[in-house]
Amino acid sequence: MLDLSIILPFHNEADGVRHLFHRLYPVLHSLDVTYEIICIDDGSSDATFTALQYEREKDQRLKIVRMARNFGKEAALTCGLHLAQGRAAITMDSDLQHPPEVIPDLIKEWRKGGEMIFAIRNNRNTDGQLRRLLSRAFYAIFRTIADIKMPEGAGDFCLLDRKVIDAVNTLQERNRFMKGLVSWVGFRRGVVPFDVEPRLGGRSSWNFFRLVRFAFDGLAGFSTLPLRIWTWSGAIVSLMAIGYGIYLIIDTLVSGVDVPGYASMMVGILLLGGLQLLSLGMIGEYLARVFTEVKARPIYFIADRIGFTE
Ligand code: UDP
Ligand code: MG
């Protein structure tokens, strides 16, 4: 059995492929391990696939999967974990934001007995202001309402022991929020700090809307609080309405009919209307996710696989 499977998702990273391996190989060779490198071309529209094939000619331990289309990074990582044969797998970004030089530290922690080792980013200097703010907000919300504990600053740069890989591979859900799934299965943890590097070339595949959707996927996959919260707000608002109703009746009985009241009525209607729409929308978000789960479509389709036996 191989010691290590390196799992790399690629989406339009053709320019970076050469630099990546230029830095990855010296690290791997300095370690005394047998390895395979699983490269997943996640529906790139540039020359990523050709570049990967070219790299394979130099080292046959590099294996390539070409996805049928762009299924997203989470699907690509899922695919990598399905195919990995190592005693441990390391997932990392292919744009060199996750420096390969951290790998020996991950392995050291693994040999000390850790079963899932997260590389924790020391800083977010490479992200824009807005993104940093939003991501901090997301983690704060996630920590308070989600059912699992995710280490702060953990990304998809981590080492997973075979036990963890097998556990994650049994999870059937379509909504693949990998950091969450990996934390959810449990096992002994370790952390290794590292400095995120600027993107090597190309552009980040995440825009604002994709990130928001991703964040909500994460929350909805691991917490039902956004759904249940409406029961409580509904109960509180109803109680207040009943109280106000009683007050109005008594007031009318005591001091007669009082016609004005337009302002309070409008406020009540608008506020409640807003709350109702919001809660309906929240239910819709979950329903949409239930819908995708129920359809039970495969998480990805592979168009080509190169270097895998059978
Ligand atoms: N990626 C992917 N499929 C996608 C989007 C991204 O496989 O649909 C890969 C991408 O090639 C990179 C990693 O996921 O290796 C992280 O993506 P990116 O650098 O765009 O995200 P960021 O670093 O901005 O979070
Ligand atoms: Mg990146």
Closest CA to 128 of 71, 199, 74: 199
State residue 152's pLDDT score.
Answer: 72
- CA dist 96 and 86 (Å) reads 22
- CA dist 12 and 23 (Å) reads 19
Statement to judge: residues 12 and 74 lie in one domain:
yes
Statement to judge: residues 67 and 193 lie in one domain:
yes
State residue 193's pLDDT score.
Answer: 85
When comparing pLDDT for 60 and 40, which is higher? 40
Closest CA to 36 of 50, 56, 16: 56
> Ligand 1 pocket, 10 CB below 6 A?
yes
> Ligand 1 pocket, 94 CB below 6 A?
yes
**Segment 251-277 mean pLDDT:** 78
State residue 178's pLDDT score.
Answer: 80
When comparing pLDDT for 149 and 35, which is higher? 35
- CA dist 237 and 245 (Å) reads 12
Statement to judge: residues 194 and 289 lie in one domain:
no
Q: Residue of the nearest CA to atom 19 in ligand 1? A: 204
The 10s digit of each residue's pLDDT in 144-168 is 877 777 777 777 899 999 999 999 9
Statement to judge: residues 156 and 247 lie in one domain:
no
> Ligand 1 pocket, 44 CB below 6 A?
no
Asked whether residue 64 carries a pLDDT value surpassing 90, the answer given is: yes
- CA dist 102 and 91 (Å) reads 12
Asked whether residue 15 carries a pLDDT value surpassing 90, the answer given is: no
CATH number at residue 164: 3.90.550.10
Confidence of residue 286 (pLDDT cuts 50, 70, 90): confident
Confidence of residue 297 (pLDDT cuts 50, 70, 90): confident
Q: Is residue 8 part of a domain?
A: yes
Statement to judge: residues 79 and 177 lie in one domain:
yes
Q: Is residue 78 part of a domain?
A: yes
**Single pTM value for the model:** 0.76
Ligand nearest to the CA of 76: 1
- CA dist 47 and 13 (Å) reads 8
> Ligand 1 pocket, 36 CB below 6 A?
no
Q: How far is the CA of 11 from the centre of ligand 1 (A)?
A: 6
Statement to judge: residues 195 and 129 lie in one domain:
yes
Asked whether residue 301 carries a pLDDT value surpassing 90, the answer given is: yes
Ligand nearest to the CA of 48: 1
Residues 6+ apart with CB under 8 A from 132: 124
- CA dist 192 and 111 (Å) reads 13
Statement to judge: residues 82 and 128 lie in one domain:
yes
Residue % of the chain over a pLDDT of 90: 32
Q: Is residue 24 part of a domain?
A: yes
Ligand nearest to the CA of 157: 1
Q: Is residue 220 part of a domain?
A: no
Residue % of the chain over a pLDDT of 70: 97
**Segment 252-276 mean pLDDT:** 78
Q: Is residue 253 part of a domain?
A: yes
Pocket test for ligand 1, best of 95, 123, 124 (most atoms within 8 A of CB): 95
Statement to judge: residues 14 and 107 lie in one domain:
yes
Statement to judge: residues 175 and 47 lie in one domain:
yes
State residue 258's pLDDT score.
Answer: 66
Mean pLDDT of the chain: 85
Asked whether residue 310 carries a pLDDT value surpassing 70, the answer given is: no
The 10s digit of each residue's pLDDT in 91-105 is 999 988 889 999 999
> Ligand 1 pocket, 43 CB below 6 A?
no
Domain that holds residue 15: 4-134+150-208+299-306
Count of domains forming the chain: 2
Confidence of residue 222 (pLDDT cuts 50, 70, 90): confident
The 10s digit of each residue's pLDDT in 171-201 is 888 877 887 888 888 888 888 888 877 777 6
Statement to judge: residues 199 and 230 lie in one domain:
no
- CA dist 81 and 92 (Å) reads 12
Q: Is residue 216 part of a domain?
A: no
Ligand nearest to the CA of 205: 1
Statement to judge: residues 232 and 162 lie in one domain:
no
Asked whether residue 221 carries a pLDDT value surpassing 80, the answer given is: no
Pocket test for ligand 1, best of 205, 209, 299 (most atoms within 8 A of CB): 205
Q: Is residue 127 part of a domain?
A: yes
Q: How far is the CA of 70 from the centre of ligand 2 (A)?
A: 16
State residue 27's pLDDT score.
Answer: 92
Q: Is residue 70 part of a domain?
A: yes
Statement to judge: residues 160 and 187 lie in one domain:
yes
